[in-house]
Structure 1
Amino acid sequence: MITVFGEGRGFRVVWLLEEMGLPYRLRPVDLLAGVENDPEYLAINPAGFIPALQDGDATLVESIAIMEYLIARYGPTPLAPAAQDPAFPGYQQFLHLGEAGLAASMYFVVVSRNLAPEAERRNWGALKALEVFESRLGLVTRQLARAPYMAGETFTAADISVTYALEFAQRAGGYTLNEAQRAYIARTSGRDAYRRAMDTCQATKAWAAAAMVS
């Protein structure tokens, strides 16, 4: 049985598993309570961040690496174009940009705004991270002017990666997306697998509902 540890970016993994129809279980990890109080999880990932995945003897961390593993191990799947497919370069770019360019940059904006002392919330690092996020977001905007999804006409795992990042920016960073970006999220989050993933990830579902109210 595949086990996903933790929500947060683990939502990407759960959503992918739902899209692929693979059986799994979600094991919560409460970072707010202190991961140091969860020795079982620290044995899985001594670095203490989420998510992690166990599949038999395989243990992985980092959400995009986990997604690539699942696709390679349990594919082929239309969620990942073949290397010879003209859609493959865009798929590969946006699969990684969703984390490396978007979510990772926004993370530093969010922690600065929410955890730093008042006088340091708009520090140089936070402003630079926002600048990086917005420059990479420009690539998403350009792609959406060409096609409905990151790899072209068809939904792929790259859209799972990017959708998570954009929703994170909205919910945690208070970032205002433009009309095309909001329409894109409406398309991707309207999928049945997304809704099933939300029903599994109750903490994420509660967070999303609270962000909508605020």
Structure 2
Amino acid sequence: MLEVFGRANSINVIKVLWLLDELGTPYARHDAGMAFGRVDDPDYRAMNPNGRVPTIRDGDVVLWESNSVLRYLAMTAGERGLALYPADPAARASADRWMDWQLSTLSPAERNLFWGLVRTPPEKRDMEAVRAAVAASAACWRILDARIAAGGPYIDGAMMTIADIVLGAYARRWFGPEVAMPEMPQFPALAAWYARLGERPGFQRWVNPKLY
């Protein structure tokens, strides 16, 4: 059986778990990371030399880096996987670019918003850095809002892809009550897309729980 190593409150593990629900793929999950430790154990480092989560083990295949894991899971899941990660080169490349955009652009922009408000006690918060992260994150979400407004209902049109899973997990950090601030602008198309994703069982199970 497929094994997933990682704590369920890691955004990168959440991406994987949500996709597995969408695919209906059976798996066993093992807690790892932060309070659960495990990631510095020699056998874990042999699988993932970075000592981070998630890592998956699928028979002889061991893989880390969450977006690469999503691609692998979709490509090995038959027709359901192809529905979420199309075989057409242009469609696949479009999903890939938004997943790469998450890594290169969105994640650095929003990092101090999530960490500053969720993972930092109130008395230790750097609110100047948080407000800067709100502005940087808003600039990113404005791009996606325009994309969806022009050709939704999903990022690449009529069909949901794994790019929606990746960015939907991150949108939780924008729309969640744990990070709500008056300075946050409204993005109607993005909000409608986020609500649409919120109807999916995998989202409700893995993305919707309280951020911590």
TM superposition score category, shorter chain reference: 0.7 to 0.9
Sequence identity (%): 25
Who is 1:93 aligned against? 97
Q: Is the 8 A contact 1:98 1:158 kept in 2?
A: no
Give 2:5's aligned amino acid.
Answer: F
For normalisation by structure 1, the TM-score amounts to: 0.75
**What are the residue-to-residue correspondences of 1:24-39 with 2, within 5 Å?**
24-34=27-37
The answer to whether structure 1 residue 108 and structure 2 residue 112 are counterparts is yes
Distance in 2 separating the partners of 1:189 and 1:119: 32
Does the CA-based 8 Å contact 1:103-1:168 persist in structure 2? no
Is 1:183 aligned to residue 183 of structure 2? no
1:106·1:173 contact (CA, 8 Å) conserved in 2?
A: no
Structure 2 match to 1:135: 139
RMSD between superposed Cα atoms in Å: 3.1
Give the alignment partner of residue 85 of structure 2, picking from 65, 80, 89: 80
Corresponding residue for 2:126? 121
1:161 pairs with one of 140, 158, 166: 166
Following superposition, the deviation at residue 206 of structure 1 comes to 4.4
Q: Could you list the per-position Cα deviations for residues 1-58 of structure 1 after superposition, in whole angstroms to 9, with x for gaps in the alignment?
A: 1111112121111111121222211112251355567665445334332211111122
Cα distance change on mapping 1:84 and 1:36 into 2, 3 Å: closer
Provide structure 1 residue ranges, at least 5 long, that are not aligned to the other structure: none
Q: Secondary structure at the match of 1:115?
A: coil
TM-score normalized with structure 2 length: 0.76
Structure 2 unpaired stretches of 5+: none
In the other structure, the counterpart of 2:4 is 4
Q: CA deviation at 1:71?
A: 2.1
State how many pairs are aligned. Answer: 201
Q: 3-state DSSP class of the match of 2:84?
A: coil
Please give the secondary structure, in 2, of the residue aligned with 1:3: strand
Find the counterpart in structure 1 of residue 180 from structure 2: 174
Post-superposition shift, 1:180? 2.7
